[in-house]
């Protein structure tokens, strides 16, 4: 594609596509490992992986082979029939999570939607039909469908679509001692991101985990871990919650699990699974052969050495970001993260830094206004980290200079 074609791409979108995304002015046409390449041939170091999705980087040879082979064999049959890969993927996911049963779907929001429905179904099956309340947390993000949106904190996302699922209460993750007063015998489930992603990269504390477990012990409320962003190995553990001892009854997975092919999963304990019968929930696409093949290949790579590499590179990343914070004490208020989800919380709006990094060929993004978020592919190396930190250093200088000259 030529630069002229870029113009056509944008004009065509502007005319026909629903205008709900603010895109940066670039058209990507190819990927290679840690890099994305635009239509002029310019290379960008990808420290965002399509918002935590391209876990094996781009055009990963083994993934490309597996997906191509699957596409030329069989892509989709529906859930009316058996195929060889769903059971295999479910067995891997139950082993890795320590839970018992898997429902396969296509996205993070669907995985959460399933968890919320399964929690309601569980109490309905026990004739506790009034037990419908969900407790979520401030700064949470769980997705855009009605159920997931209802437990998403940011009023800008929620309010234009009201009325949503009723009976949702938001607790403060920073004040675990207040949870006790919010979770009661009417609570169907507590839903928590072990590392809040969109909300600004905030890992939960052990104190909050203890409060959640205590609330469950007292009331019986189920615990849903939304591991869509923090799970599938991103933190160096298979589930982010495993780092702080969270023991959920249901887990939602997505993003990195399909390495770019849309895959979501709800993984649950047997007593919850026992409440569900054929017809209670379902999906046309979920768990098709293409999706399962991609997820299985991803898990092969993850368990074949990638998890160790994530932990090693992540500690280098954390150390380099701390150095960066020391070098820019007036700008970087805090470095947060767990494994390969990391953030610089700034003293001002992070967009100028994200833009300056982009202009220098590094992809990161802004979340929660002041946060520069890094979600690199799991194949990232120490050398990639050094390169990214050098660019971020320059981007922080450039954004501060721009701000000062205004």
Contact flags string 71-110 toward ligand PLP, x per CB under 6 A: ------------------------------------xxx-
What's the closest the beta carbon of residue 402 comes to ligand PLP, in angstroms? 29
Per CB under 6 A, 187 contacts ligand PLP: no
Exposure pattern of 372-388 as b/e (b: 16+ CB <10 Å)?
bbbbbbbbbeeebbebb
Residue facing ligand PLP at closest CB distance: 108
The closest alpha carbon to 227, from 195, 202, 204, 258, belongs to: 195
Cβ proximity to ligand PLP: between 173 and 331 the closer is 173
**Listed ranges 6-14, 30-38, 223-231, 337-345: which one lies at the site for ligand PLP (CB under 6 A):** 223-231
Binder of ligand PLP out of 38, 46, 193, 345 (CB under 6 A) = 193
Q: How many residues bind ligand PLP (CB under 6 A)?
A: 15
- Give the residue with the Cβ less far from ligand PLP, 52 or 57: 52
Q: Between 228 and 374, whose beta carbon lies closer to ligand PLP?
A: 228
Nearest distance, CB of residue 140 and ligand PLP, angstroms: 8
Rounded to a whole number of angstroms, the minimum distance from the CB of residue 317 to ligand PLP is 19
Nearer to ligand PLP, 108 or 332 (CB): 108
Nearest one of 289, 266, 239, 314 to 47, comparing CA atoms: 314
CB of residue 199 to ligand PLP, shortest distance in Å? 9
| Interface with ligand PLP, residue 229, by CB under 6 A | yes
Least distance CB 377 / ligand PLP (angstroms): 16
* Among the listed residues 111, 135, 134, 348, the one whose alpha carbon sits nearest the alpha carbon of residue 231: 111
Contacts of residue 211, defined as CB under 8 A and 6 or more positions apart, other chains included, come to: 176, 177, 179, 180
Residue 201 or 324 with smaller CB distance to ligand PLP: 201
Measured between alpha carbons, how far is 96 from 232 in angstroms, rounded to an integer? 9
Q: Which is nearer to ligand PLP, 198 or 249 (CB)?
A: 198
Site for ligand PLP in 234-263 (CB under 6 A): 254
Q: Kindly indicate which of the ranges 165-173, 224-232, 292-300, 347-355 contains the residues binding ligand PLP, using the contact rule CB under 6 A.
A: 224-232
Q: How far is the CB of 400 from ligand PLP (least distance, A)?
A: 29
Under the criterion CB under 6 A, does residue 365 sit at the interface with ligand PLP? no
Using CA atoms, how far apart are residues 362 and 370, in angstroms rounded to an integer?
Answer: 18
In the complex with ligand PLP, the residue whose CB is nearer, 51 or 74, is 51
Site map for ligand PLP, 34-63, x if CB under 6 A?
Answer: -----------------x------------
Alpha-carbon distance 23 to 8, whole Å? 15
CA distance 381 to 373: 18
**Residues 143 to 162: which contact ligand PLP by CB under 6 A?**
143
Binding footprint of ligand PLP on the chain (CB under 6 A)? 51, 107-109, 112, 141-143, 193, 197-198, 226, 228-229, 254
């Amino acid at each position: 594609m030529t630069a002229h074609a870029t113009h056509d791409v944008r004009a065509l979108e502007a005319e026909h596509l629903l205008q709900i995304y603010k895109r940066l002015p670039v058209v990507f046409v190819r990927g290679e490992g840690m890099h994305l390449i635009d239509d002029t041939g310019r290379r960008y170091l990808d420290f965002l992986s399509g918002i935590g999705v391209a876990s094996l980087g781009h055009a990963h040879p083994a993934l490309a082979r597996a997906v191509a082979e699957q596409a030329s064999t069989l892509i989709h049959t529906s859930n009316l029939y058996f195929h060889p890969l769903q059971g295999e993927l479910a067995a891997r996911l139950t082993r890795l999570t320590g839970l018992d049963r898997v429902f396969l779907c296509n996205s993070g929001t669907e995985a959460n939607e399933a968890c919320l429905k399964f929690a309601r179904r569980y109490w309905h099956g026990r004739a506790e039909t009034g037990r419908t309340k969900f407790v979520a947390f401030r700064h949470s993000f769980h997705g855009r469908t009605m159920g997931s949106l209802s437990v998403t904190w940011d009023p800008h996302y929620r309010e234009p679509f009201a009325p949503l699922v009723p009976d949702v209460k938001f607790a403060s993750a920073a004040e675990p001692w207040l949870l006790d007063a919010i979770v009661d015998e009417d609570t169907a489930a507590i839903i928590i991101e072990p590392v809040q992603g969109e909300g600004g990269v905030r890992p939960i504390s052990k104190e909050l985990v203890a409060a959640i477990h205590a609330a469950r012990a007292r009331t019986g409320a189920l615990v849903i871990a939304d591991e869509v962003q923090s799970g599938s190995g991103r933190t160096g553990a298979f589930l982010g919650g495993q780092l702080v001892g969270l023991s959920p009854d249901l887990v939602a997975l997505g993003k990195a699990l399909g390495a770019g092919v849309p895959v979501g999963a709800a993984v649950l304990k047997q007593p919850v699974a026992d409440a569900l019968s054929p017809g209670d929930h379902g999906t046309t696409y979920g768990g098709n052969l293409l999706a399962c093949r991609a997820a299985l290949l991803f898990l092969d790579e993850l368990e074949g050495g990638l998890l160790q590499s994530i932990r090693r590179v992540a500690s280098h990343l954390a150390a380099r970001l701390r150095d960066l914070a020391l070098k820019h004490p007036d700008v970087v208020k805090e470095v947060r993260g767990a494994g390969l989800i990391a953030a610089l919380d700034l003293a001002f709006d992070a967009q100028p830094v994200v833009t300056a990094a982009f202009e220098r060929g590094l992809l990161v993004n802004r979340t929660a206004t002041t946060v520069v978020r890094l979600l690199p592919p799991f194949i990232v190396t120490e050398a990639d980290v050094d390169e990214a930190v050098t660019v971020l250093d320059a981007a922080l200088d450039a954004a501060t200079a721009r701000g000062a000259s205004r």
